[in-house]
Amino acid sequence: MLFEFHSASRLAGGRTRLTFAMPRGHSYLLQASSDLLNWIDLNSTRPLVNSTEFTVPATTPLARQFYRAEKVP
């Protein structure tokens, strides 16, 4: 199984909820970008492990967002 994004939903207060599927036993960092060139870490202090959901805080300073996940070695 690969990391798969399923949906992104806007929440109250400007937050965004990401839902996804990921392989068990692997850690991932989520990143966001407004231009697909410059990426910012969304969870650099705590990699995701066995998760299915992540809420992006409203403080993320991007008007239009693209998301990606990177496997932590």
Q: Report the candidate in 8, 1, 6, 3 with the shortest Cα–Cα distance to residue 66.
A: 8
Backbone angles phi, psi at 9, to 5 degrees: -125, 135
- Name 60's Cβ contacts closer than 8 Å, sequence gap at least 6: 32, 40, 42
Domain coordinates in residue numbering, the chain: 4-72
Which class is domain 4-72?
mainly beta
What pLDDT score was predicted for residue 46? 86
pTM: 0.81
- For the chain, residues with pLDDT lower than 50 are none
Cβ–Cβ < 8 Å for 17, 11: yes
